[in-house]
Amino acid sequence: MSRIAVPSLAVLLLSACGVQQKAAPPAPSAAPPASPPAGAGASASPGVSRQDTRPALAETRSTLTPNLKVEVVGLNRVKGKHLVIQVRLTNTGTDKHLPWTGEMGDSTRPLGEIRWASGIGVLDAPARTWILPYKPADFPCLCTDQRRDGLGYFIDPGQAITVYAVTPAPSGNPPTAIVVTPVGPPMTNVPISDDPPVTVPGTDIPDPDAEPVTTVTRRIVTPSESLDKSEETADDGKDLRVSLSSDVLFAVNKAVLTRRAEAVLARTAKLIDSSSGATVQVEGHADSSGTDAINDPLSTRRAQTVRRALSTQLTRKGVAFQAKGYGSRRPLYSNDTDEGKRRNRRVTVTFIRPEATEAPTPATASTPDATGLTGTARADGQPISMAVTGLRRLPGGLGLLTYRVTNEGAAEAWFNELHHARDWMSFKYQAATDVTLTDPAAARQYLPGRLQVPADDGGMDSYCACTDMSGVRLSTGKFGPGQVRDFWGLFELPAEAATLKVEIATFRELQVPVQ
């Protein structure tokens, strides 16, 4: 496999000081444990130091393992189209070896393929795309391999390793990027360098142009819904899908619009007028009740009724409508619950999303007041506190919510409230999904974003664009005395909102300023 030509960190450091270019002796390290586990961090070649002393460009902590510090130490654009991400992983603890290969693996892959540094990537917010390392034909990813790169499976107490991932560069040649990992909140505004990447000795960065590689991305879909439950939307950065409740539009088993339907359709018509698309798809859907002989023609008639109503409300000319009924064959949610069935009874209108309205830049950046953005709860008899640490506006109409949960008690506690999502929210694995943002002025609620991944059955699996709380990362709900964990979630963020109501699990609702 060909490699990207990169200068060595040790050579650059020595030559910059005018010292003869020879390898520095290994730096002293903490005494190793009496019996390290098999496969623990392998030593570098004799006489070559692999210690990475570069300053961090950004850092975060693992939510599952707070002793795992994650720092971006290199972010380089190569040939104008690739990105080399280098991350330093430090075990800040004093007594335990930390595994890193499962922790840093892409958790949206099948369980047997979640390994190495395949989960390191960037968030291209304007394109609504989660970008992961390239995949060659015979290797899981263009990223660090614990054997090939001599790092082993574990990080010793007090020690650090540096891993890399090679991804496509985010669109638009931006000066900064949002670096993502599977273990902690995304790191925003990380500066990108167009200089050749610098590496620690012994690290060879593979060249993505030297062999056929596959681009690995996840489309980000942000859902929202009206407070009156008349409609819900899903925005994937290209198309906007508006699902109108059939219970609001029609009487039972009817295809004639109700009086309430006019106001609901007016909002959808306004969105279509703001779109640049020439075609609008209108689809009728039913729940699993009844038979195809009933559901198929009813869903078709309802789609045609909505098509006619929307076409008369538009002010923009030249829009073509296509209407079709699918009966109960394309459910969005499980039909095992009443709420799932209600949401599956819908007419879905899909069109090119209107251009996102950029929010005005505030005169001064607002910082949440931690004293007013807190809540308390109890778990296993212990007091649990929560504090919102930020609601940051990202490009492309996205927002990043970060918050901190602390066990304020003197004993260990299990706090599992964050993944108690509503029964109709279908995600792969458990995550911190029990979070909502509400804009009272628009009478609208925003739910955690979703990473869409093609499934084996030809459909799509949805993973929460938020803190993962299951899969290979177990025991996330377990908090030691005084232990702090940082959580996050991606949301749609309305451009006109200066504050939003935020409700996290069982904590009290908070009024949070948008930064």
Same domain, 248 and 205: no
* Residue 64 located in a structural domain: yes
Top pLDDT among 151 and 428 is at 151
Where do we find the tokens 């109709």? Answer: 424
Q: What is the pLDDT of residues 285-311, one digit of tens each?
A: 999 998 999 999 999 999 999 999 999
Q: Is 190 helix (H, G, I), strand (E, B) or coil?
A: strand
Is 479 contained in some domain?
yes
Same-domain check for residues 478 and 427? yes
**Average pLDDT rounded to a whole number, residues 373-384:** 92
pLDDT score of 30 = 34
Task: Choose among 511, 470, 468: nearest CA to 490.
Answer: 468
- Do residues 230 and 337 share a domain? yes
CATH at residue 442 = 2.60.40
pLDDT higher at 44 or 369: 369
Residue 366 lies in a domain: no
Do 80 and 175 fall within a single domain?
A: yes
Is residue 397 domain-shared with residue 433, that is, in the same domain? yes
* Enclosing domain of residue 471: 374-513
Is 34 found in the same domain as 95? Answer: yes
Indicate whether 159 and 308 sit together in one domain. Answer: no
Mean pLDDT across the stretch 5-18?
48
Decide if 4 contacts 206 (C-beta within 8 A): yes
Residues 58 and 143 in one domain: yes
The total number of structural domains in the chain stands at 3
- Percentage of the residues of the chain whose pLDDT score is greater than 70: 85
Q: Is residue 364 part of a domain?
A: no
pLDDT on residue 448? 94
124 and 200 housed in the same domain:
yes
> What is the rounded distance in angstroms from the CA atom of residue 255 to the CA atom of residue 417?
41
Look at residue 361 and tell me if it is in a domain. no
Instruction: Give domain status of residue 369, yes or no.
Output: no
Give the end of a domain, one of 211, 234, 250: 211
Domain closes at, from 211, 242, 264 = 211
398 belongs to a structural domain? yes
- Same domain, residue pair 60 and 198: yes
3-state secondary structure 279-315: EEEEEEECCCCCCHHHHHHHHHHHHHHHHHHHHHHCC
Q: Which of 211, 244, 268 is the last residue of a domain?
A: 211
The CATH number of whichever domain residue 241 belongs to comes to 3.30.1330.60
Together in a domain, 87 and 189: yes
More confident residue, 23 or 428: 428
Lowest mean pLDDT among 377-386, 457-466, 499-508: 457-466
Specify if 183 maps to a domain: yes
- In percent, how much of the chain has pLDDT > 90? 68
Same domain, residue pair 486 and 383:
yes
CA-only gyration radius of the chain, Å: 25
Amino acid (1-letter code) at residue 179: V
